[in-house]
Chain A
């Protein structure tokens, strides 16, 4: 079974981003970039499936600028066997990425796609579902447990109010939630080994995919701030304020 793991290069989750002063976008010059944390969980899950003998090959794919190759190296250091970079300077939106992924899925004969449920930059939470729709595959989103057996994948999903399990026929798309696993610490020997792994670079046009953005960002701004209130000295004052000033209890 071949697994494809799409990985996105995003601003590191520890970086506090700022809007450019003219509001034209978010200032990401000279900030630390990392693999989207949900994608890291997806790579770990795919690697575990290979280690368990369920998967034969784990292919990582990243779409975007040339530096995405670093993200693919990280995926390879966790355990991906090889990487594909779909290189473009165009701002890629989820629908475009889903179309690229669909083309690769068909080309490579992929049985299972595991990917992050959302990227921590645009917070869209769309690409996995879109890929599943375009490729006419079933989907198991927000996964906290993945079990492959007998040509099916059983996915336990984090839903509002609890958990839900669905059984999907393969090929299928799974998107990872936070509790699916805890990604391993990447060791130096594995980073070195990853440097030798194969990474192929192609362009969206090679796949015949139209990646033009459909949504235009007119401006970005800081969120409205909520001003701090008062500090109360003790519980009695707090109760009094809540009852008589805020009138919420």
Chain B
């Protein structure tokens, strides 16, 4: 049976998370269809059709799907769910919001946040904030799955030429309406897509002090992240949070400043290719996972580093 991948997109283009999810689908096997559900999302659909490994792109384009309200989005997925043995979405805020609705309506369990495909019905996933890896097997006829994107290398964005097919869009549920969106404006790359991330922890000391990271981030074209401790202390906004309860990232280079390395933070960044840790405390657990550790005061190190790069 075919595998359905739910695309993450902003109508103009598909998000990289979609390519990671297609890679997970390839491990399951079978034809891969990608659903692009949105409003004026033709450009995103054309891009999805070019991704390697995709057999068909299904497009549902309507006013009611533009804001990706869970009620309408889930109904759109359910309209075609019967054709598939597996339904996969990236474990992003959109995927996590909509997919359990689909699973419940199909009367099947959802397997959240998989990090590997062992077979068509067996997967691994982290539990207890990443302290334990569980191997789980689903007995349901349809497997509904969210994918931890950092665990799968993305398929190539160019090289495919899938057919694009239009679907009839479902009607609006009338139960929810979109009011507003406040997107944190930033010229920096997105945390989950950045190749370099500069993160600050409680050691930053204040929200103002976080700005010492800006020149370094500018120089490396890096995204800025934060530990949960820094977010809880009000030093950084929640959408910067890297960790089990925040964003899961795996950049080429992850630099942690003033982060002790609580397990819940490590769960969010330990798949990074190279980890650098700077901390005053030589006993900080972060040094246990860092490729390069430097014991020192971040307020001395960051300016020096910025100058030398």
From A26, A165, A172, A241, B132 is in contact (CB under 8 Å) with A26
CB neighbours (8 Å) of A124 from chain B are: 110, 112
B101 proximal to A (CB < 8 A): yes
CB neighbours (8 Å) of A138 from chain B are: 70-71, 173, 175-176
CB distance from B250 to the nearest CB of A (A): 12
A168 in contact with B175 given A179-B238, A239-B305, A239-B308 (CB within 8 Å): yes
CB neighbours (8 Å) of B289 from chain A are: 226, 228
A126 in contact with B112 given A144-B238, A218-B135 (CB within 8 Å): yes
CB neighbours (8 Å) of A120 from chain B are: 128-129
B134 proximal to A (CB < 8 A): yes
Q: How far is the CA of A190 from the CA of B98 in the complex (A)?
A: 38
Q: How far is the CA of A130 from the CA of B70 in the complex (A)?
A: 11
Interface contact B135-A126, CB-CB below 8 Å: no
B136 proximal to A (CB < 8 A): yes
A123 in contact with B244 given A169-B176, A222-B132 (CB within 8 Å): yes
Of A57-65, A192-200, A229-237, the one touching chain B: A229-237
Of A11-19, A47-55, A69-77, A79-87, the one touching chain B: A11-19
A88 proximal to B (CB < 8 A): no
Interface contact A231-B287, CB-CB below 8 Å: yes
Interface contact A166-B179, CB-CB below 8 Å: yes
B103 proximal to A (CB < 8 A): yes
From A121, A125, A134, A178, B104 is in contact (CB under 8 Å) with A134
Q: How far is the CA of A148 from the CA of B247 in the complex (A)?
A: 29
A161 in contact with B239 given A16-B263, A138-B175, A231-B295 (CB within 8 Å): yes
A220 in contact with B93 given A95-B104, A121-B127, A178-B245 (CB within 8 Å): no
Q: How many A-B residue pairs have CB under 8 A?
A: 240
Of B58-66, B181-189, B207-215, the one touching chain A: B181-189
Q: How far is the CA of A98 from the CA of B106 in the complex (A)?
A: 13
Interface contact B136-A216, CB-CB below 8 Å: yes
CB neighbours (8 Å) of B175 from chain A are: 137-138, 168-169, 172
CB neighbours (8 Å) of A93 from chain B are: 109
Q: How large is the interface on A (under 10, 10 to 19, 20 to 34, 35 or more residues)?
A: 35 or more
CB neighbours (8 Å) of B129 from chain A are: 120, 123
CB neighbours (8 Å) of B100 from chain A are: 94, 125-130, 133
Of B81-89, B157-165, B269-277, the one touching chain A: B269-277
Of B18-26, B29-37, B47-55, B137-145, the one touching chain A: B137-145
Interface contact B110-A178, CB-CB below 8 Å: no
Interface contact B131-A17, CB-CB below 8 Å: yes
Interface contact B181-A164, CB-CB below 8 Å: yes
A133 in contact with B138 given A165-B179, A242-B292 (CB within 8 Å): no
What string of 1s and 0s marks CB contacts (under 8 Å) between B106-133 and chain A? Answer: 0111111100000000100111111111
Task: List 10 additional A-B contacts (Cβ < 8 Å) besides A121-B127, A178-B231.
Answer: A19-B132, A133-B102, A160-B190, A167-B177, A215-B109, A221-B132, A229-B292, A231-B292, A238-B305, A242-B276
Q: What 6 pairs between A and B have smallest CB-CB spacing? A: A129-B100, A229-B291, A130-B104, A214-B109, A138-B176, A133-B101
